[in-house]
Structures are given as structure tokens and as C-alpha cells.
Amino acid sequence: MSFANPLMLIGLAAILVPIIIHLFNFRRYKTIYFSNVQMLEDIQKKTKRASQIQQLIVLALRVLGIAALALACAQPFLRTGDKNSQNGNVVALFVDNSYSMETESKNGSRLYDAVDAAKNIVQSFDFSDDFVLTTQDFSGEESHILNKDQVLEILDRIAVSPNSHSFKEIRAFENHTIQQSNKANVIHYYISDFQKNNFDMSVLRNDSSAHIGLIPTPAEQLSNVGIDSCWFLTPVFKLDNTVTLIARIHNYGDEEVQKVPVKLHVNEKQKAIAALDIAAGGYADCHLTYRIDETGTNCGKVSIEDVPITFDNDLYFTYDVSENSTITVIYDREPNRFLTALYGKDSVFTYQPMGYQQVNYTQLRQSAVVVLNEVPTVSSGLADELTKFVKAGGTLLVFPSEKADNSVNNLLKSLDAGTYGSLVKKTLNGKSVNRESIYFKGALETADGRIDMPQTLQHFAIAGGGNGSEVIMTLEDNSPLLVSYPVESGKVILSAVAMNDDYGNAHRHALFFVPLHNIGIMNAVQQKLYNVIGVDQMQRVMLPSDGSDEAVVLRARKGGEEFIPEQRRLGNETALYFHNQAHSSDWYDIVRGGQVLGTLAFNLNRRESDLACYDEKELNKMAEELGGNTAVISADTKNIAKSVSDRLNGKPLWPWFVVFSLLCFLAEIALLRFWGKPGLNE
């Protein structure tokens, strides 16, 4: 037991007063005459004996009553895990302002309850204490130590945030700010609905030094149906192609939902509609098939109808449809007629042949694919341009030449791709194709392996290269016929044979033409359909270079929200860094100088869709497992200030001492009133 005001223990000296009165009880004696004192003497002995017992009991009650009153003034308490440090506390408050906190509670909303509870906690501390306030926003003002008035001011401005961070991320951000304080006694308070998919309480096992209070904000358990994600079955988008979009719909409730309507709109036109039955706690994938009828940037939206949680009812996405792909073929003496037939006769491609000694670098930079067809040498200038082209996202396709010098392999080595070895003059048949490769996927109907394969009369050995290579086709000796190497944002694809009759019939074979054709249209592959707010922080886009230094602005179509992202030029691409500046689900136009250059899609984090939360019973159980420094505090605003005070100062005992003191004095009064009369000698 400890005392908040130990100097008040001096009051214990007051117990000497009743003791002195008892020892020096000065009384006046009266003389009373009786004719016969024999009976009076017997009565006096009995009365004196009872009076002495009575006086001892009264003395004990008076001493105990005064002592209890003095102890109550000293404010005794039993110490708990929390205690004030000599130079004050660091009070770290986390107020969850994610979308799930917008749900209704008995007092209005969970967020309202959380803010009210936070204010009660702040009021329980001194002005000398340091405060750290953290929300889902991770804003700049939250990264500094605050005083009591500043915290209360910020609490009045807290609003629902589109961001949703894991408990581990919250702890890391909070602890980074706490390090700015010189106070050693850290007390954490987490006010949240404690969603099960967000809060991994095992994170607290690594921190046994701080004192932690978990304050749940109870609410009615709600069911929710939300759109989780979407993706296309095909990676390529071409005009008049039929594509299938798959939307995954989650049912987070405890009951099955039936006939959930799912609608797909593209460029504000309804393209498909479906209805789903979803089991309790499960999900279903909805297939939405439609025809692409517009080029350029297409803006799509998948929608459902579900209340009261509506932020996950819409999922926005975008994809680009190019009219054609630019293919640049760099040749030795004359264009290859097979490549001309493949790329030059197809309206899907813009075909640009040029000799290796007259390369137009401006046209090369605008290409999707560059083909080196039996080029004998690569100049340093061309090698530099090709390196920039590939790393910026372009595809380099190489057909070997028997006359090639080391410059070709040097270029491939600089890109960390494979290199050409010796010429193997041996007749071989093709062995296998990689059906899972994006260059073959969906192109072959038979799956039994009985496929007519090309034949080679001679081929170059291909060896080396960095990690992540993908063999597209192989020969029967297991050597690669066609192999792809990832290089930063681009790719290098090497063929073991050239496109002429000296190497066999691969250049005439349909199976060999399938991946070559798909290589040409891979620039139409959508890299990212949408960005998740708070998760995805960067996207690369192709922007025309107009020589202007004007910054790009992202502008929301619905609400008009706009912000300037960080911008970095990476070769032919521009990297846009968002830094959590987007706050609502929407299409955001990329605007520069009043001109719309493209569109990106942003969606709120679906982590908030699952409303399953830990209740107080579950939190108490976890708190027991975590140890004595973690406790659960009720969010009842009438009692939270007292709970915080008790955790700071320990369990107060002074009310019990006051009650005990009153009982002692009442017992004394009752004793004197009902235990006979005082003796004659008093």
C-alpha cells in the first residue's frame, strides 16, 4: 500500500488525545450519605468493572476512527502495473477513424464514442505530460509530440478516413513519434472497434515495457456484402475483342444472400449484368463478358446494392485500348519477308523497318517492340538507346546472325539477359511449348501433347541470364528455342534460330508465329487496373513529352478532388507517386495544362469491409495472455476517466478508510447510548 499524500500521516498523532483523556480522566467525587452502605458497595464494584470494559472499547473505537480518518487524508492506494514517472508521462492515443467506425452505436457512431473516450483520457492527465495522437491518416501533425490543448483541438477535427493500416504499422508510426519525448513512462491507449482482420494482438508481445489500455467501441453487429476485387481473363485489350471481367463479391454476414445484382458499366454504358447467390462468410466470382468497342482509356465500374455499408459497393478500374502497336525491325541488308508478313500486313501493328546503320532513334523510342533481325553489330549509340528502351518497359526481340560480333552479346550481358553461344548444326524437332506463358496462354485447344512441332536444321545455344527467365519453347535436347528475360520494366526475348530456310522451318510454322504475334501486342497488356488507397503508392504511365515543365495533376471526376503527385521521368515512362493523397473511390484524370492525358482508378481499401470485431470478452482473454501491462478499459464515457485514473495511480483505498472511520464513531455513539449508564464515579 502506498500514499498519495504521505505528509498527512502526521495526523496519526491525534490518537494521543483520546489516550491522554483515558489515562488522566479527572473527575470530581461527590459525597452521598447512606444509612447502610453494604449493598451500595456491591453495586459499585459491579458497575466499576463494566465501566472499565466500556471505556476500553470506546477508547479503541476512538483511536481506530481517528487513525482511519488520518490515513484517508493521506490517500492510500494499491499500486497496479501503471505508475507515474517522476518527470511525467508520454500518453500515446490511437483513435481509429477508418470507415468501419462510421457504423452506428448507442451514442451515435463508433467514431463519436472513440473521440469522446479520448477526450476523457486526456482530461485525466496533467499539462506537464506529453501526448502522441495517432489516427489512420498518419498526418504530419500526428508525427510530433503534442501538449494537452493541442490534442483536444485535433480531436475535435477528426473525421472518417479512407485509410486503413494494420496494427503493426500503427505501432511503428506511433513508436517513431514517441522517441521524440524525454519522458520514460509510456502509456498506450488504443480506441477502436478492433476488427479481426486488422488487429493482430501478437504484435504487443514484443513490447513489455509500456503500459497498454485497449478500449473497444461496441456497436451492433452488421452484415455486409462488398466487391473485393476484379480482374480480366485475358491480358490483352484490342478493339472488337470479347473479354471477360471477373468480379469477386464477398458476403461478410452470417446468413446467405441471394440474387445480389451485379452491374458492369464501361464509359458510362451498361455492358453486363448478373445475379449471385453467396453463402454466409463466403464469396462468389461473377463473370461479366462484353465486347470492347472503344479505343483509348476505358473507364469501368462494377456495382452492387447493399446497405448500410456502402463504401465497398463500387469498384472502379481503367484499361487502355490501343489502335495498333508500333513494331520497329532493325535489319542487316534488307527487311525479312516473313517478319514483314507477320507485322507489316496486320492492321494491329504499325510496322517500321530500318537498316542497322540508319536507325531513327526518335521512332525507336515510340515503339512497343524492337526486333534485331540478324544484325551483325550494334554500335555504342544504338546499344545505349536499346538499353534505355528496354528498362523503360519496351520489348527487345533478337534473331541471331552467324556474322554477329561481340557487340550483340555485350548488349545482352549489359541487360542481364542470356547470350548466344556456338552454332549447333544438328537437326532437331521442337519438344514442348509453355502453355502457361502469356505468349501461348489460351492459344492452344488440345492438351494431350500431340502438336505438330517445328523442325530446326541448326540453332544457336543460349546460356546465362539473370533470374526469372521464362522458356517459351524448347527443342528435343531441352535447349531453348524461344526464351524471355525480364529486365526492370521491359523484356528481352531471344530466338535460337533466324527467320530463314537455313535454320529449318520454324519461320514458316504457325506454332512459332503464335508467340511472335503475341509479343507484338503485349504492349496492350494492362499492368494495373486500379490502385488501392493507402496501399498502392506508385504507378507508371506513358505520357507524351511536350517540353513543358508544368506538373501533372490528378483530378477526381465525381467530387472534383485534385492533387499533384510526385513525378519522376523514367525513360519513356513517368512514375507518379501518390503518398496517400487520394481520399475517395473514383476515376482520376491525369491533367497537364488543361489537357487530359489519361485516367487512373482509385478504390478504398477493402480491409474495412469485414466488420467482424473482437468483443470485450475476447480482448480480456488476449490481455491476460499478453501479461499484466495490458488491460481492457470500458468505453463507457461515465466511467472511463475513473478507470484511467485508477490505472495511473493504482486502486484508491481512501473511501474505505472514510467509511471505516464513520463506522467507528457510530459504534462509539451506539455503545455509549445503549450500554447502560456510566458508573457513579464518572
> Taking 70 as the threshold, does the pLDDT of residue 446 lie above it?
no
Which cell is 33 given?
A: 450519605
pLDDT above 70 covers what percent of the chain?
84
pLDDT band at 555 (very low <50, low <70, confident <90, very high): very high
Higher pLDDT, 291 or 611: 291
Which cell is 500 given?
A: 530463314
pLDDT at 264: 97
pTM of the model as a whole: 0.66
pLDDT at 77: 65
> Taking 90 as the threshold, does the pLDDT of residue 376 lie above it?
yes
Burial 72-86 (b: 16+ CB within 10 A, else e): bbbbbbeebebeeee
Higher pLDDT, 635 or 145: 145
Domain 531-603 = CATH 2.60.40: yes
Q: Which backbone phi and psi does 189 adopt, to 5 degrees? A: -130, 125
pLDDT in tens, 225-251: 999 999 998 766 878 889 999 999 999
Answer whether 325's CB lies under 8 Å from 346's CB.
no
pLDDT in tens, 574-614: 889 998 899 899 999 999 888 898 999 999 989 888 888 88
pLDDT band at 644 (very low <50, low <70, confident <90, very high): low
Give which of 211, 520, 174 is closest to 343, Cα–Cα. Answer: 520
The rounded distance, in Å, linking the Cα atoms of 586 and 581 is 13
pLDDT at 65: 82
pLDDT band at 680 (very low <50, low <70, confident <90, very high): very low
pLDDT in tens, 115-137: 998 998 898 888 888 999 999 98
β-strand pairing of 104-105 with 108-109:
antiparallel
Phi-psi region of 571 (alpha: psi -120 to 50; beta: other; left: phi over 0): left
Largest separation between any pair of C-alpha atoms in the chain:
160
Over range 649-677, report the average pLDDT.
77
> Taking 60 as the threshold, does the pLDDT of residue 141 lie above it?
yes
Please count the other Cβ atoms lying within 10 Å of the Cβ belonging to residue 184.
12
> Taking 90 as the threshold, does the pLDDT of residue 197 lie above it?
no
| Among 289-298, 588-597, 630-639, 655-664, the least confident range | 630-639
Q: Which backbone phi and psi does 624 adopt, to 5 degrees? A: -65, -40
Pick the CATH number of 225-322 from 1.10.150.120, 2.60.40.10, 3.30.230.70, 3.40.50.300: 2.60.40.10
Over range 483-507, report the average pLDDT.
91
Highest mean pLDDT among 98-112, 317-331, 473-487: 473-487
β-strand pairing of 459-463 with 470-475:
unpaired
Beta-bridge partner residues of 484: 470, 493
Please count the other Cβ atoms lying within 10 Å of the Cβ belonging to residue 337.
12
Do 89-221+611-648 and 225-322 fold alike per CATH? no
Give which of 174, 167, 163 is closest to 192, Cα–Cα. Answer: 167
- Position of cell 492492321? 347
Answer whether 315's CB lies under 8 Å from 227's CB.
yes
pLDDT in tens, 147-167: 999 999 999 999 988 888 889
Over range 299-306, report the average pLDDT.
95
Q: Which CATH architecture has domain 325-524?
A: 3-Layer(aba) Sandwich (3.40)
> Taking 80 as the threshold, does the pLDDT of residue 78 lie above it?
no
Which cell is 254 given?
A: 452470417
Using DSSP's 3-state secondary structure scheme, residue 118 falls into helix
Please count the other Cβ atoms lying within 10 Å of the Cβ belonging to residue 512.
25
Higher pLDDT, 645 or 503: 503
pLDDT at 526: 58
Answer whether 149's CB lies under 8 Å from 117's CB.
no
> Taking 80 as the threshold, does the pLDDT of residue 43 lie above it?
no
> Taking 60 as the threshold, does the pLDDT of residue 677 lie above it?
no
Which cell is 347 given?
A: 492492321
pLDDT at 209: 61
β-strand pairing of 595-603 with 531-532:
parallel
Over range 315-327, report the average pLDDT.
86
pLDDT at 218: 74
pLDDT band at 12 (very low <50, low <70, confident <90, very high): confident
pLDDT at 451: 78
The rounded distance, in Å, linking the Cα atoms of 662 and 459 is 106
Average pLDDT, the chain: 84
Answer whether 598's CB lies under 8 Å from 555's CB.
no
pLDDT at 82: 45
What's the one-letter identity of residue 266? V
pLDDT band at 199 (very low <50, low <70, confident <90, very high): confident
pLDDT at 7: 73
Q: Which backbone phi and psi does 160 adopt, to 5 degrees? A: -65, 135
The rounded distance, in Å, linking the Cα atoms of 599 and 294 is 15
pLDDT at 681: 40
> Taking 70 as the threshold, does the pLDDT of residue 30 lie above it?
no
Angle between helix 380-391 and helix 406-414 axes, rounded to 10 deg = 30
Using DSSP's 3-state secondary structure scheme, residue 309 falls into coil
| Among 139-153, 553-567, 637-651, the least confident range | 637-651
The residue extents of the domains of the chain are 2-79+653-674, 89-221+611-648, 225-322, 325-524, 531-603
pLDDT above 90 covers what percent of the chain?
39
Over range 534-540, report the average pLDDT.
87
Over range 255-277, report the average pLDDT.
94
Beta-bridge partner residues of 471: 483
Using DSSP's 3-state secondary structure scheme, residue 595 falls into strand
Burial 46-68 (b: 16+ CB within 10 A, else e): ebeeebeebeeebbebbbbbbbb
Beta-bridge partner residues of 567: 576
The rounded distance, in Å, linking the Cα atoms of 123 and 641 is 8
If DSSP states are collapsed to H, E and C, what string results for 253-276?
CCCCEEEEEEEEEECCEEEEEEEE
Determine the distance from the C-alpha atom of residue 663 to the mean position of all C-alpha atoms in its chain, rounded to a whole number: 58
At a CB cut-off of 8 Å and minimum separation 6, what does 363 contact? 326, 328, 352, 354
pLDDT at 679: 44
> Taking 50 as the threshold, does the pLDDT of residue 463 lie above it?
yes
Fold of 89-221+611-648: Rossmann fold (3.40.50)
- Position of cell 522458356? 471
Cis (ω within 30 of 0) for the bond into 261? no
For residue 485, the number of C-alpha atoms closer than 13 Å in the C-beta half-sphere is 25
> Taking 50 as the threshold, does the pLDDT of residue 10 lie above it?
yes
> Taking 80 as the threshold, does the pLDDT of residue 75 lie above it?
no
pLDDT at 81: 47
Give which of 193, 95, 185 is closest to 135, Cα–Cα. Answer: 95
* Inter-CA distances, 226 with 113, 343, 499, 611, Å: 26, 44, 52, 11
